[in-house]
Amino acid sequence: MTRIRRTAYVALSSFGCIVFIGLCAILSGAPLLFPSLGPTAFLVFTSPGAPGASPRNTVLGHLAGVLAGLAGLAATGLLSAAPDLTHPSLARIGAAAIALGLTCAAMAALEIPHPPAGATTLIIALGLLHTAPQIVAVLVGVALIALLAVVINKLFGVPYPWWRPPRW
């Protein structure tokens, strides 16, 4: 694939995924569209053969991020606190640090690298999305982008694993 075709493919595929997920968010009223889907889209369309781009690592990495974010909130007593990005407290900093440390540890230990999950865990730990319905919506958004990546890459003949990256 030429550089121009590849650039167009990455741009249009990412654009299409975000439009689709955004429309689903409008129709459902759920926060299915959140910041870490951007780097996920970039990864699955620019480097579909990379281990971090596989659907398995995308889904499990973000799941680790969500669970670690919730653990950070629980450990610091912030599960029901409102977000405050302009005046972070020591507890909020602790929640973010705990969440990111746990997310990175889980991805390393389970061999499920997916760097955008580090953003998801901070979204949760900073309290931006932290209620049960919001957590479900985040996971649905992740599942949608993973599914769309499989469909779009296969549709255009781009080699992409269905679930797990090939072993080296």
Distances from the Cα of 137 to the Cα of 19, 92, 101, angstroms: 16, 23, 23
pLDDT at 167 over 70: no
What are 29-78's pLDDT values in tens digits?
A: 999 999 999 999 999 999 999 999 999 999 999 999 999 999 999 999 99
| Token digits of residue 86 | 């302009």
Quick count: other Cβ atoms within 10 Å of Cβ 158?
Answer: 17
State the Cα–Cα distance between residues 138 and 99, nearest whole angstrom.
16
Read out DSSP for 83-99? P-SSS--HHHHHHHHHH
pLDDT at 90 over 90: yes
State the Cα–Cα distance between residues 149 and 65, nearest whole angstrom.
20
Is the sign of the CA dihedral 102, 103, 106, 111 positive or negative? negative
pLDDT band at 82 (very low <50, low <70, confident <90, very high): very high
pLDDT band at 1 (very low <50, low <70, confident <90, very high): confident
| Token digits of residue 83 | 């977000």
Confidence at residue 163, expressed as pLDDT on a 0 to 100 scale:
87
Task: Find the mean pLDDT for residues 142-164.
Answer: 95
Q: Report whether 91 contacts 145 (CB < 8 A).
A: no
Q: What angle do CA 138, 161, 68 make, to 5 degrees?
A: 30
What are 52-63's pLDDT values in tens digits?
A: 999 999 999 999
State the Cα–Cα distance between residues 126 and 64, nearest whole angstrom.
16
Confidence at residue 166, expressed as pLDDT on a 0 to 100 scale:
65
Confidence at residue 168, expressed as pLDDT on a 0 to 100 scale:
53
